[in-house]
């Protein structure tokens, strides 16, 4: 299985949450520091189930 790239300009959104319309339509419709706000803004734009995820900063280790 090939890796899926969700975001082409990830460095632009470094350290932020991003909302996309779907896994196939990768247009960024909302972004910011608070995931609840990002989700709410995406839903206000008429997207019922947006894909929301965090874009880590470059060269920063993320432990989940």
Total number of domains in the chain: 1
Domain range for 51 is 13-55
Per-residue pLDDT at 35: 97
Residue 6 within a domain: no
Beta bridge partners of 30: 19
Residue 61 within a domain: no
Per-residue pLDDT at 3: 67
Residue 42 within a domain: yes
Residue 47 within a domain: yes
Question: What's the whole-number mean pLDDT along residues 45-56?
Answer: 94
Per-residue pLDDT at 60: 80
Q: Is the pLDDT of residue 51 over 80?
A: yes
Higher pLDDT, 60 or 40: 40
Residue 2 within a domain: no
């Amino acid at each position: 299985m090939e890796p899926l790239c969700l975001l082409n300009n990830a460095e632009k959104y470094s350290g932020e949450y991003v909302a996309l319309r779907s896994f196939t339509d990768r247009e960024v419709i909302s972004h910011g520091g608070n995931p609840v706000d990002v989700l709410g803004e995406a839903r206000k734009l008429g997207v019922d189930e947006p894909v929301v995820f965090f874009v880590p900063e470059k060269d920063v280790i993320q432990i989940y």
